[in-house]
């Protein structure tokens, strides 16, 4: 396979993963997969949360495609696609876990309009502590904050957190996740 085709597959996969991530976040994580994702909408009490299992789950196709395309004699394009999935996972980890949620200590302060928009959109997503009523499900692209705030107001701020909200309490063994 020509390297240019591989690079195109890689870049196309990274871009396509944002669409996949949006759909998985909106309809899986805030749907039947809420039992794992709920931990992400609560204060973390240690280094890990149940939601982290999604990273392992979504890494499996990447690993299998890379292995198949490189070692098992499958079509070589599968390796480039698997690498694109892995690259999106690394980008997601950097943006979401490190920069937005500060799971690794850093002093980074967003200065670009893009980074400020992504961070504000994610904060607006977390303004709702339930699986329903949330806004902004993308990770690398987000609507303007004004649009998200208007949508929250249109919904009557259903599920929005208030000071002292019991949903802000850390999850425990008996709290459902």
Q: pLDDT tens per residue, the chain (177 residues)?
A: 999 999 999 999 999 999 999 999 999 999 999 999 999 988 888 889 999 999 999 999 999 999 999 999 999 999 999 999 999 999 999 999 999 888 999 999 989 999 999 999 998 888 887 888 888 898 888 888 898 888 888 877 655 655 445 444 443 333 333
Q: What pTM did the predictor assign?
A: 0.83
Beta bridge pairs of residue 160: 128
- d(CA 116, CA 142) in angstroms, rounded, equals 11
Phi, psi of 39 (to 5 degrees): -60, -25
């Amino acid at each position: 396979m020509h390297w240019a085709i591989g690079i195109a597959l890689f870049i196309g996969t990274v871009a396509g993963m944002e669409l996949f991530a949006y759909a998985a976040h909106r309809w899986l994580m805030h749907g039947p997969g809420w039992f794992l994702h709920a931990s992400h909408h609560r204060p973390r009490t240690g280094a890990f949360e149940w939601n982290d299992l999604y990273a392992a789950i979504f890494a499996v196709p990447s690993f299998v495609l890379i292995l198949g395309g490189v070692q098992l004699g499958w079509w070589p394009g599968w390796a480039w696609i698997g690498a694109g999935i892995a690259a999106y996972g690394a980008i997601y980890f950097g943006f979401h876990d490190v920069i937005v949620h500060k799971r690794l200590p850093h002093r980074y302060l967003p200065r670009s309009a893009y980074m400020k928009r992504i961070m504000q959109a994610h904060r607006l997503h977390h303004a709702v502590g339930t699986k329903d009523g949330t806004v902004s499900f993308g990770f690398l692209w987000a609507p303007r904050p004004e649009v998200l705030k208007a949508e929250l107001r249109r919904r009557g701020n259903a599920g929005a957190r208030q000071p002292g909200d019991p949903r802000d309490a850390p999850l425990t063994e008996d709290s459902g996740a």
